[in-house]
Structure 1
Amino acid sequence: MEARQTRSFDKGQMTGITWQCDGILLGHAVSRFTELSGFHSKSANVDVVRMHFGLKGDYLFTYDQLGKTFDLVGGHHNIMYSREFEMTVQAKTLEIETFGIQFPKEVFIQFTQNASDTLKRFSEAIILGKSAILTDSWGTIDSPIQQVIQQIIHCKYSESLKKLFLLSKSIELLVLCADACEASERKTETFIKTKSDKEKIIAVRDLINDRVHCPPNLSEIAQHVGLNEYKLKKGFKETFNNTIFGYLTDQRLQLAKQYLLDTQQTAAEISTQLGYATPQHFNNAFKKKFGVTPFSVRNNP
């Protein structure tokens, strides 16, 4: 059900972990390079639909069966299908982190053939055996998607419960991914129009993730990425459907929940560690987010 793997390639190495449940394959991988380079991968006779999530890092991604090359900035996702699979990745950063889910063709069709119009059209192409991508616009990994992926990576369940958990989270990610890709297709970008600005907004997200315990203020963030505060605030909201403060709050509370489940720290210790003014302030924010108190999570995981 769970397997770890390491793959060496020219000027780099990939380490990863995969999980299987009911024919669905989930995987998380981190590729680190000694200098900017790339790698090639292919598989034959694997009739699956692939959900691809780029969590961190920039790269060029050439998908031979689609006849397309994508220039991707960390924090993106899409759904693709082809009977065979051959790709070349050219790294533009020294570290790339990805997550993926492979659905057997029949399972994916069963889930989606009566869903939204976009998914129906995608499923029809799959039924005909045509190589296809859900939308030409890649979706952005927002807080809900990021949180589900982290829940999968840090899942503590075992055996049958883990299998059920992974199945439910796979379907949840499918819904979130399809909805976000469709929204991206309709969206008119007003504030973030260039790839350079998009990279800066992704850098803001990464900075917040790295400093959840001691978050930077708005002027520090703006100076760090080289955007004025107005464009920073508007661009972040446009990209992630959340304010900078709202995103930070979500990340802090998700991390707090993880600490409650995975450590023996008290709620008061966690609130201090994450920078809350008082345990009561933390308690109120946690209950507003999850509908239960920290104490309830600790005693009823």
Structure 2
Amino acid sequence: MNFSFSATPDFDFTTYFARHLQAPIRDGLLEIPEKHGQGYIRKLAFGPDFKVTIHHYQLQEDLIIQRNTSGLGNELITVFFYNNEQALGIAYNDKPHVLFSQRDESAIQVTSNDLSSTIRFPAHQQIHYVVVAITPVRLKELVAISDPNSVVQTITGRGNSFLFFESMDAETKLLLKNMAAVDMNASLGNFYMQIKVLELLYLVFQKLSLRASTAHQTINSADAARLLYIRKEIISDLSTPPVLRELALSAAMSETKLKQLFKQTFGTTIYTYYQQARMEEAAFLLKHGRHTVAQVGYELGFSNLSHFSRLFKKHYGLNPKRFCGVA
């Protein structure tokens, strides 16, 4: 199933998607017709400049959502919270879909509406994500930071093109899970949901506000596509450290531009991102109890197991053996 739209400030995803499915909307709720799957999409509006859609469904076929640039610049900010164990495919600029994560498919994406993107959701899997659409002016009023860093300034300013990714912590995952269980027929259901959406925004902007304040580099859809490709290259073989020169050639970027845009988008350097991914992969393998500490270390390219243990403890606060005991 393919659904394409232009990300204009007045676009109502739920209404147009309901027409696409030939299904009715009742009190802001679109129930997925049985022939397409099961579940729902719920829309909430906290004013004309602050809207939310909650997606919770399982479909009979893959769903490909293509967002086309509005051509209006940054008149709308989209904050996308995807919380699911299944593969999430994200693409920019008509490039092939790139799986966002190997083990944990949760992701937070903050983007301006002048970037085209395509997201693929797999069939026969539970899909749960929340999209917050808000204008820069309204967001700036909500965040109300007296001395914002360059990231928050970029997002809440006008006319900026940006893409930021953040990892999703356990607190955010639990909040999303609880939101899915809210009884919207209750008298204060809408009010409660508004509080929870604000809490979601607080959690992501708390992280973004801690990023280093540097000059913002303008990004376009082609840049975004290249960055996701580079991210895929980094995590495709965690036993081998990334080589900046080779990555820059693959991305058709200068080394300087690649370093700047990668850190700007993902909040960390390429090598640090690689090391974090290594530790997360190690934790996954250890949790599932099918590998010894030595096997995990060697599989991830560590010839010195003491070095592996030190890095793992620095990341998780426990050495690998103790981590196995509490996992």
* TM interval, short-chain normalised: 0.5 to 0.7
Corresponding residue to 1:60 among 89, 95, 115: 89
Q: Percent identity?
A: 8
In the TM superposition, what is the alpha-carbon distance from 1:3 to its structure 2 partner?
A: 2.4
Q: Which amino acid aligns with 2:176?
A: I
Q: Which residue of 1 is the match for residue 281 of structure 2?
A: 197
TM-score where L is the length of structure 2: 0.50
Q: How many aligned residue pairs are there?
A: 217
2:288 corresponds to 1:222: yes
Please, which moves more after superposition, 184-193 or 94-103? 184-193
Aligned pairs for 1:117-156 (under 5 A) are 117=149, 118-124=151-157, 127-128=158-159, 130-133=160-163, 135=164, 138-156=165-183
Corresponding residue to 1:185 among 247, 260, 267: 267
In the TM superposition, what is the alpha-carbon distance from 1:34 to its structure 2 partner?
A: 4.9
Q: Which residue of 2 is the match for residue 4 of structure 1?
A: 29
In the TM superposition, what is the alpha-carbon distance from 1:167 to its structure 2 partner?
A: 2.5
Q: Which amino acid aligns with 1:193?
A: A
Give the SS at the match of 1:193.
Answer: helix
In the TM superposition, what is the alpha-carbon distance from 1:103 to its structure 2 partner?
A: 1.6
Aligned pairs for 1:167-178 (under 5 A) are 167-178=194-205
TM-score where L is the length of structure 1: 0.53
List gaps (5 residues or longer) in structure 2. 1-25, 212-265, 298-307
Q: Which whole-Å deviations, capped at 9, do the CAs of 1:195-221 have from their partners, x for residues lacking one?
A: 9938x84xx8xxxxxxxxxxxxxx7x3
Q: Which residue of 2 is the match for residue 276 of structure 1?
A: none
Q: Which amino acid aligns with 2:288?
A: A
Give the SS at the match of 1:28.
Answer: strand
2:17 corresponds to 1:17: no
List gaps (5 residues or longer) in structure 1. 205-218, 249-301
Corresponding residue to 1:51 among 73, 76, 79: 79
Q: Which residue of 1 is the match for residue 64 of structure 2?
A: 39
Mark the CA change 1:20 to 1:94 in structure 2 (over 3 Å): closer, same or farther.
Answer: same
Q: Which residue of 1 is the match for residue 55 of structure 2?
A: 29
Distance (whole Å) between structure 1 residues aligned to residue 132 and residue 58 of structure 2: 21
Distance (whole Å) between structure 2 residues aligned to residue 81 and residue 5 of structure 1: 26
Q: Which whole-Å deviations, capped at 9, do the CAs of 1:169-220 have from their partners, x for residues lacking one?
A: 222211211233556614835754359938x84xx8xxxxxxxxxxxxxx7x
Q: Which residue of 2 is the match for residue 98 of structure 1?
A: 129
Distance (whole Å) between structure 1 residues aligned to residue 98 and residue 279 of structure 2: 12
In the TM superposition, what is the alpha-carbon distance from 1:77 to its structure 2 partner?
A: 0.5
Preserved contact between residue 222 and residue 228 of structure 1 (Cα < 8 Å) = no
Preserved contact between residue 47 and residue 82 of structure 1 (Cα < 8 Å) = yes
Q: Which amino acid aligns with 2:66?
A: S
Distance (whole Å) between structure 2 residues aligned to residue 14 and residue 236 of structure 1: 41
Distance (whole Å) between structure 1 residues aligned to residue 82 and residue 39 of structure 2: 14
Q: Which amino acid aligns with 2:154?
A: R
Q: Which residue of 1 is the match for residue 300 of structure 2?
A: none
Q: Which amino acid aligns with 1:185?
A: G
Preserved contact between residue 58 and residue 93 of structure 1 (Cα < 8 Å) = no
Q: Which residue of 2 is the match for residue 264 of structure 1?
A: none
Query: Which structure has greater helix proportion?
Result: 1
Q: Which amino acid aligns with 1:222?
A: H
Mark the CA change 1:154 to 1:227 in structure 2 (over 3 Å): closer, same or farther.
Answer: farther
